[in-house]
Chain A
Amino acid sequence: MLKINALKASVEEASILKGLSLTINPGEVHAIMGPNGSGKSTLASVLAGREEYEIEGGSVDFDGADLLDMDATERARAGLFLAFQYPVEIPGVSNINFIRAAVNGKREHEGLEPIKGKAFLDMVKEKAQLVELDGRLRNRSVNEGFSGGEKKRNEIFQMAMLEPKLAILDETDSGLDIDALRIVSDGVNAMRSPERSFLVITHYQRLLDYIVPDFVHVLVDGRIVRSGGKELALELEDKGYDWIKEDIVA
């Protein structure tokens, strides 16, 4: 599904990813944890195709294609989805028209006609239920004035609408209350399938109680310094990151 090999990336002359490798197979859920500023969101943005980041080395294969050769739109249409750590507000663009444009973009890529009104609204209804997204949010401007938790639900709603092959969730748990965390996790779990993979970025073991990962990786200073099973998350929760950093130095 995704094969990242020795990826190096920088922004404004500062190198952030310093040779990162990671392989995700179909159906797997990988979690990435790591200290603030270690490069987790940068990895997510680079994979999603944000142009401000300079790729300085390495390769990324997505489903047999060279991911780095595609622009952001093409990556999304090829089945990559990023749930943003900080979802963007777009005043004046209604949430429903936004997601319709997204769905139709994907359909165009697949050689399909734009989706019909009724089919679209049925789909919206079904997917909104999955994350219990308040119906009133559909006609409001994209994320504008949404609470932190509403924004995160909206991200997962969009993911459900677009049915990606690989979903990267960047701190989707931050800002969610306890009930919302469970609802959103249930939504994600409902979408798990042998063909769909997830890369879950989080600071907290709690999310991984709900969305149980197959692998946990620790990202420190632009590199994956340790990988393990889900118990690694528990160990990190217990001990913090210092012992790993010390390990690296040693």
Chain B
Amino acid sequence: MDAAKPQLMDRPKAEAQHAASEASGAALVSALDAVLGVQADVALDAVPVPHRRVERWKYTPVAAWWKDVLAPDVSTVADAGCEANPVPGLDAYRLVFVNGTFDAAASDLPVHTGVTCMPLSQRGDAKLQDVDAFSPEVSDWFAGLNGRYSQEGLYLRVTQGVELDRPILIHHHTCGAGAFNVLRHDIAVALNASVKIVQWSTATAGADGSVNILTRADVGQGARLHIDKVQDEEGTVRHIAFEDIRQGRASHAEVHTITVRGAWVRNDLAFRINGQGAHAELNGAFLPGEGEFVDNHTTVDHRVAHCTSSENYKGILYGKSTGVFNGKVFVRPDAQQTNAYQQNANILASEKASMNAKPELEIYADDVKCSHGCTVGQFDSDALFYARSRGVGLEAAKAMLVHAFIGDILKGFAVTEVRLEVEHRLAEKHGWDVWNDHPNDDA
């Protein structure tokens, strides 16, 4: 048994092999510690800076700029303010963070029996969830940075059986030059409780620097967590986000990610399914335009029997943009009767766009149902000609096909207002008039 035991998610070992000490930026880190007044309790030098030789960073080069992340302009403050509620008409609790600082005036915290919800910095003695051997902090340099420097975020506890009546909208806003927007959200949803979270990231046109958000969620037995995650950042910020989701028995967790806009975006999701009968769902769509880069790395770790996971990512790449998808699915020896589905479909809307897609299934149990598919193609020329032969313009015809292509992803959003606003923003970004008016969509 031991011999066959997989080295699951054992990321640091491989990476450590090529770690050169000065390449970890130790000097820059201690300088930043001093600037930010941080008492370092997370050992960063154990985790090397991402390097192309490491599989997880093969298509996502950071060599040219990782040092910039460690030299932010700390005078960049939250003076530009934040746009009003990014989702008009949405009735939600709201936490607003501008450049990593909680904006109390713009926020509206839930006052609800059985719900503890506050900015992380105000939690007092309340403990955060443990970082364990499988947490991203111990294996990923950016997550390590987050662990070292994050001092703010959402602290949320939902007690047994409580269903929060409205979604919680977490708005991350970045503005100014050299931003260092580091946040950590720590969520625990207890037995049979349920909560919907919307994470919405924006940045102003002049913003640069980095955004680093780590969300750790414990989804207890029979509990439900639904996260709608929207990335719509102007400027040139580099955005990296981690989701570290731990699921208990018969729990249900979903993360839906849409990247509307973003110069450089990496999402790194990990679902650990620890209890039988649980279901994990992770869907995403990304539509990078000229010069944009979007990377979705996902890991679904089936550790116990009788669980299901469903994953569906779709990309449409415009101009000279680049997309990366890497979907790991582990089915451990004990995870019999697993049903895991993974799909990644991509359309290259431009000859200059490129997509690197890699499904990775590692299955160590024999009685399982796992399927996956991965495609990279172009727009369907028959459908385009058909639409044009009816007088629909070429761009409008493509926009219709895009809407159809990512329709299932959009429908997955838990909050209708979020979907409508995302559609509106995509239409605006790409100039898609035909999207504006769909009277029968909801019929």
Contacts and interface: CB of A to CB of B under 8 A. Distances in A.
Nearest to A52: B381
Given A88-B383, A93-B400, A101-B400, A82 B437 contact: no
Interface of A: 48-52, 71-73, 75-77, 81-82, 84, 87-94, 96-102, 104-106, 109, 114, 117, 138-139, 141-142, 158, 162
A50 B385 contact: yes
A97 B400 contact: yes
Interface of B: 380-383, 385-394, 396-397, 400-401, 403-405, 407-408, 434, 437-441, 443
Contacts of B441: 94, 97
Contacts of A117: 439
B378 to A, nearest CB: 14
Contacts of A158: 390
Given A105-B396, A139-B443, A71 B390 contact: no
B391 A162 contact: yes
B404 to A, nearest CB: 3
14 contacts: A51-B385, A76-B388, A76-B389, A77-B391, A81-B389, A81-B390, A82-B389, A84-B389, A90-B404, A92-B408, A96-B440, A101-B387, A102-B387, A106-B391
Given A90-B404, A94-B440, A98-B400, A73 B394 contact: yes
Given A102-B387, A158-B390, 4 more contacts: A73-B388, A89-B383, A98-B387, A105-B391
Contacts, number: 97
Contact of A90 (B381, B383, B408): B383
A93 B403 contact: yes
A105 B393 contact: yes
A88 B382 contact: yes
B404 A91 contact: yes
A104 B438 CA distance: 13
Contacts of A89: 383
B81 to A, nearest CB: 36
Nearest to A78: B391
Contacts of B400: 90, 93, 97-98, 101
A49 B391 CA distance: 11
A116 B390 CA distance: 19
Nearest to B393: A73
6 smallest beta-carbon distances between A and B, as pairs:
A92-B404, A76-B391, A102-B390, A72-B388, A88-B386, A105-B391
A76 B393 CA distance: 10
B438 A97 contact: yes
B436 to A, nearest CB: 9
A102 B403 contact: no
Given A96-B440, A105-B396, A114-B437, A48 B404 contact: no
B420 to A, nearest CB: 16
Contacts of A84: 386, 389
Nearest to B406: A92
Nearest to B396: A101
Contacts of A81: 389-390
B58 to A, nearest CB: 33
Nearest to A138: B440
A102 B405 contact: no
Contacts of B382: 88
Contacts of A48: 385, 389
A98 B401 contact: no
A158 B391 CA distance: 11
A234 B393 CA distance: 41
Nearest to A108: B393
Contact of B440 (A51, A104, A114, A139): A139
Contacts of A96: 440
Contacts of A75: 389
Given A96-B440, A101-B396, A71 B388 contact: yes
A104 B434 CA distance: 9
Given A101-B387, A117-B439, A139-B440, A92 B392 contact: no
Question: Among B388, B391, B400, B403, which residue has the most Cβ atoms of chain A within 10 A?
Answer: B391
Contact of A49 (B389, B393, B405, B437): B389
B373 to A, nearest CB: 16
Contacts of A73: 388, 391-394
Contacts of A106: 391
Contacts of B385: 48, 50-51, 72, 88
Nearest to B404: A92
A92 B407 contact: yes
Contacts of B437: 100, 114
Contacts of A94: 438, 440-441
A97 B387 CA distance: 11
B390 A99 contact: yes
Contacts of A88: 382-383, 385-386
A102 to B, nearest CB: 4
Contacts of A109: 391
Most buried by A among B380, B385, B407, B441: B385
A197 B400 CA distance: 30
A150 B317 CA distance: 35
Most A C-beta atoms less than 10 A away, residue of B383, B390, B396, B438 = B390
A52 B385 CA distance: 10
A20 B49 CA distance: 68
Contacts of A162: 390-391
A97 B400 CA distance: 9
